[in-house]
Structure 1
């Protein structure tokens, strides 16, 4: 049993917790809110500290010590029901100021209180439960008995009307997989404007922690009134962390930054569609050269390894690593789009916004070095171009093709550049069509998994492009001459296909899959209806 699971069972099929006083709704209920409810329940029963319940008293009971242990854990995985945002209602209630002689009329003392419920969408045999799952496989001396006692103290989660009870149990992976609901996974060190949930925190150096802060806030609340003196301020909780939670209901796109290509006259430069890999290689090359002399200060100790892995994209045998993708963006989106490359997008893994921002700031205004790249990497044909090319960082305008088709959110996506599969779909010339189709499907599933796409989807594939002025996956024409896309040497013999993805739920961009996803191949755009 390597998991601790705290299950909260609501008495009703709705939840009223908000991220702020006026919304939006908080869903799922945050780990901070769970700890807050556990602390309130234990303190209400007198089971938090031994002796007088004052902020100076740190003589915790077994339950108090268990809650202190709980706040130090990494953010849990949350399993919650499918949900739907209910109708927002504004209620007008007394403002607890009936002693105000200037407002003798009750109607003048009413204050607005918005109510935005989150409604559970339960399966026929599903209970209104939210599960919090912590991995304890590497921990020792787990105070489970006290955690179980603390869970039994919970009386509500959210507002006072969100009455609930809770219980704790030890579980293995099979039990966790059997829990009904949507899985919400924490993505530490990532940041987005939506999807951030509060989590408990503990600072070992300052000894500042969520539990101490909650007790302090409660102390200011019960001591706010003192006879003959003005009403004292009630402190709100402020010691917590914010962690991004993602799921199939709220997937998030990876962090990106976009550069426009300019020539020496500050005019838009247009790069051939078939040679987009050359543009990716040049952008990568200038990033490498820039980071060699100016690596991030927080990466100084490991600058060489970070450069080799994150910027260059080189991976050691058996290593899992994170890297930047250098993706040229063909111009698409209207009937006269020519699919030429005028922009380059850098894509980073979810938790690498800081590193991407650092690299992007230093690439703004840099010149791409074509001639040097030809000599060092042997890329054929591009060195003949004598025009100078510069990078200008931009924010993609709303309503234009980058924001709409590459970075939008939709259920149906199709390739702009073909997906280069990690292998071959044809083992011999005698392979039957059914065998080739099965192998192609297997390789596409592998490409989706390696790109980290977890949302369920159906897909189809073909050799012909879905968009005008894009190229087919054929490498040679009828005369045996090279046609189609220029590919990196290590990918020239791999199978390539154009793919259309149909997701069950809307998925945000950017989407790039396949063995060439880091250099512009396997790039998807939203299907234009």
Structure 2
């Protein structure tokens, strides 16, 4: 099968892009690459309809596989940088003030935390989208326009993260020749990256229009951050990492909902039994069949009239009370196993995501 490959090479082998909360982002998110392509298309002009269609087509594709070199997050440091306050300087100059504090650009500084990501083993990042075996003529036109935009890329991450880009169609055999760690979309909720969707381009254009109008009416109207509705958050993992098992985690609370209901670890079996019972009752009330409740929740493969127990294996709910690990300080520091305050529900065989989501919603 053919793949669309977008390659980005960071010229300085460093990257400064940040994810949610200002944490270092690696690999660079598909949304960040898409924004760079949009900036390439809008350089000095409005984006034409053909270019919009090409960008919207790319944004509507499934999240790409990413091949990126190993990275090392550097030690953060603080630097004094310009505070983007030249409007204050200009006002001082317009009043004839050329020597006061406000008139000196060097006095308008702010401290900024910088934490680069280093790429000691290479600086090329590849984004791979699966294509149809025989792409339609319209799709080939989109690809050609995206190739032009990729070759006009300037930066990815901060403005100092200069890049060279390219885009081409390759075979699946050629993917094995790409150097780097392979990041693939995952069902876990761990390493989240921002990914565009079909309406991302319109959201970016709307935000840019707000930026251009920010001084209308004689007052500054701050431009909000890009709305979370303008993109998706997709979990990624390296292809050699195991797929995390989906679980439903619960706190055991008293009826007032404010305090923990604490159980001794000696009552672990009783806690598991109570959780299994309420799960079976809730499943019956929400329309589960008697057979499915018996096998998937209660673990009985036999019918109600059969006196001999038949195990159902690992494709069923498991109920696991969780003791607390408590740090207690007497002489030195020690962690001890405390009472049960929480519990997990999962399927030992793995998978069964729909059943786990049902447990999260209903228990």
Scaled by the length of structure 2, the TM-score of the pair is 0.70
- Match among 86, 100, 107 for residue 74 of structure 2: 86
Aligned to 1:246: 237
| Offset, 1:108 | 4.6
After superposition, the Cα gap between the structure-2 partners of 1:46 and 1:180, relative to the gap in structure 1 and judged at 3 Å, is same
Match of 1:198 among 191, 194, 197: 194
User: 1:14-25, aligned counterparts within 5 Å?
Assistant: 14-20=14-20, 23-25=22-24
Report which of the two has the higher share of helix: 2
Q: Give, in whole Å, the separation in 2 of the partners of 1:16 and 1:314.
A: 55
Q: Distance in 2 between matches of 1:341 and 1:12?
A: 51
In structure 2, distance between residues paired with 1:104 and 1:313:
77
Counterpart pick for 2:225 among 236, 260, 269: 236
Name the structure 2 match of 1:77: 65
1:358 aligns with 2:361: yes
Equivalences for residues 72-471 of structure 1 within 5 A: 72-100=60-88, 101=92, 103-104=102-103, 106=105, 108-122=107-121, 127-137=122-132, 140-141=135-136, 142-143=139-140, 144-187=143-186, 190-192=188-190, 195-202=191-198, 209-225=199-215, 229-238=218-227, 239-247=230-238, 254-257=246-249, 268=264, 270=266, 283-284=275-276, 286-294=278-286, 325-328=317-320, 345-347=344-346, 349=351, 354-359=357-362, 362=363
Task: Measure the CA separation in 2 of the matches of 1:81 and 1:94.
Answer: 32
Deviation string, structure 1 residues 117-175 (Cα, Å, up to 9, x no partner): 111131xxxx4111111122488523332332232222211111111122122233322
- Residues 183 and 284 of structure 1: is their aligned pair in 2 closer, same or farther, counting only changes over 3 Å? farther
How far residue 29 of structure 1 moved from its aligned partner, in angstroms, is 0.6
CA contact (8 A) 1:88 1:114 kept: yes
Q: For the residues of structure 2 that align with 1:134 and 1:10, how far apart are their CA atoms?
A: 21
Under a length normalisation based on structure 1, what TM-score does the superposition of the two structures give?
0.50
Report how many residues are paired.
315
What's the offset of the Cα at 1:197?
A: 1.3
Q: Which residue of 2 aligns with 1:9?
A: 9
Structure 1 residues 105 and 136, CA gap change in structure 2 (3 angstroms):
same
Is contact 1:95-1:111 (8 Å) kept?
A: yes
RMSD: 4.3
> What's the CA shift for 1:220?
2.6
Q: 2:308 matched to which residue of 1?
A: none
Per-residue CA deviations over 1:166-202 (Å, capped at 9, x if unaligned) read 21222333222332212222235x534xx22111122
Unaligned ranges ≥5, structure 1 = 50-59, 203-208, 296-302, 316-321, 363-529
The Cα of 1:270 is off from its aligned counterpart by: 2.6
- Distance change (3 Å), C-alpha of 1:269 and 1:223: closer
Distance 1:134 1:153 in 2: 20
Task: Name stretches of at least 5 consecutive residues in structure 2 with no aligned partner.
Answer: 93-100, 255-260, 302-313, 327-333
* 8 Å Cα contact 2:77/2:115 also seen in 1: yes
Cα deviation 1:26-77 (Å, max 9, x = unaligned)? 111111111100010111164831xxxxxxxxxx12x332111001111111
Report the Cα offset of residue 8 of structure 1. 0.9
The answer as to whether partners of 2:271 and 2:321 remain within 8 angstroms in 1 is no
Hey, what's the Cα distance between the residues in 2 that align with 1:76 and 1:42? 21
Contact 1:186/1:246, CA 8 A, preserved across alignment: yes
Q: 1:37 to 1:331 in 2, by over 3 A?
A: closer
Report the secondary structure of 2:22's partner residue: coil
Find the aligned partners of 2:358 and 2:10 in 1 and give their Cα distance: 42
Q: CA deviation at 1:341?
A: 10
Q: Closer, same or farther in 2 for the Cα pair 1:225/1:350, shift >3 Å? A: farther
| Mapped contact 1:94–1:110 kept (Cα < 8 A) | yes
Change (3 A) 1:10 1:269: closer
Assess, with a 3 A threshold, how the Cα gap between structure 1 residues 46 and 311 changes in structure 2: closer, same or farther: farther
Q: Which whole-Å CA distance do the structure 2 matches of 1:99 and 1:168 have between them? A: 41
Change (3 A) 1:333 1:94: closer
What is the distance in 2 between the residues matched to 1:304 and 1:176? 46
Mapped contact 2:186–2:243 kept (Cα < 8 A) = no
